Amino acid sequence: MTAPHAVLLGLIQGISEFLPISSSAHLILTSYLLGWEDQGLTFDIALHLGSMLAVVIYLRRDLGVLVRGLASGDSREPTQPALAQALVWGTVPVALAGLALVEFVASTGRRPATIATTSIVFGIALLVADRKGAHERSLRTIGWRDGLLIGLGQALALIPGTSRAGITMTVALALGFDRAAAARFSFLLAIPVSALVGGKQLLDAYLGAELSIDPSLFVIGFLVSGVSAYLAIDFLITWVKRQDFSLFVAYRVVLGLVILASIWR
C-alpha cells in the first residue's frame, strides 16, 4: 500500500461510514476493482478510529449533556439514563457477534457476491422502514428495548455491504423514530462500537501482534477518514431534515446489481 492508496481509502471510509451505504463494502470493492491487495481488517480498524474521532467531535454537545445528566442525576433530564442504557444494550450484540463471526467476516463476508446481496437486500429494507415507519418518536422516548433491537440489527453490519449506519437507522425507523432521531442515535452508537474495535487493535499491538501496514499509512488513513467523516455526518444530519432515504437506497441497489453483473459476465 502507498500513501495515495491510504488517502483514497480514508476518503471512502469517512464518506461512507455514516451514510447508509456500507463503508466496509466500498473499502473492499475499491481494492478489488483497482487490483490492489486487500487492505485487510487491520487497516480498516485504523480508518474506523478516524471516523470515531469525527463523530465524537461532531456530537460533543450531545455527549456533554449525556455525561453531565448522568453525573448529576438531574431529574429534569430523565432521558439521559434511558439513552445511556439504550447505547449500552445496543453495543452488547455486536460485541458478542464480533467474537463469534470474526472468521466469517475475514473470509466469506468479504466476497463481492456477499457484498452485492447485502447491499440490495438491506437497501430495500431501509426503503420499507422509511416508507412504513411512523416517524413520530424522538430520542426522548427511547428505552433499553429499543437499544437492544437496534443493536441486534447492528450486529448484522459485521457482514460487509449491510452498512452499520443503514441497518441501525432501518431498525430505528421501523420502531417509529423520526429520521433525525434515527440518524443521531446511529451516530452515537458508533462511538462505543468503534471504541471496542480500536481497543482490540491497541491490545493486539501491545501484545506484539504483527502489523501488516506501515504506521505512517495508519496516520494518513486516520486523518483523512476523520475529516471526511465529519463532513459526511453534517451532510446527512442536514439531509434527513428535508429528504428521505430514497437516494441512498437507489445507490445501494444499483451498486449491488453492477457488482453481480461484473461477476456473472
What is the distance in angstroms between the CA of the first residue and the CA of the last residue of the chain?
Answer: 29
Q: Is the pLDDT of residue 69 over 80?
A: no
Which pLDDT score is estimated for 111? 80
Which pLDDT score is estimated for 167? 97
Which pLDDT score is estimated for 16? 92
- For 15-49, how does the pLDDT look when each residue is reduced to its tens digit (9 = 90+)? 998 999 988 788 778 877 788 776 655 677 778 78
Q: Is the pLDDT of residue 76 over 60?
A: no
Give the residue numbers spanning the domain of 96: 3-264
Q: How many structural domains comprise the chain?
A: 1
By the 8 A CB rule, do 26 and 228 touch? no
**Cα-based distances in Å from 256 to 21, 122, 224, 243, 246:** 11, 11, 26, 23, 15
The b-or-e profile of 9-32 (16+ CB within 10 A means b, else e) is: bbbbbbbbbbbbbbbbbbbbbbbb
Q: Which of 124, 116, 113 is nearest to 249 (CA)?
A: 124
What is the value of pTM for the model shown?
0.88
Average pLDDT over residues 189-217: 74
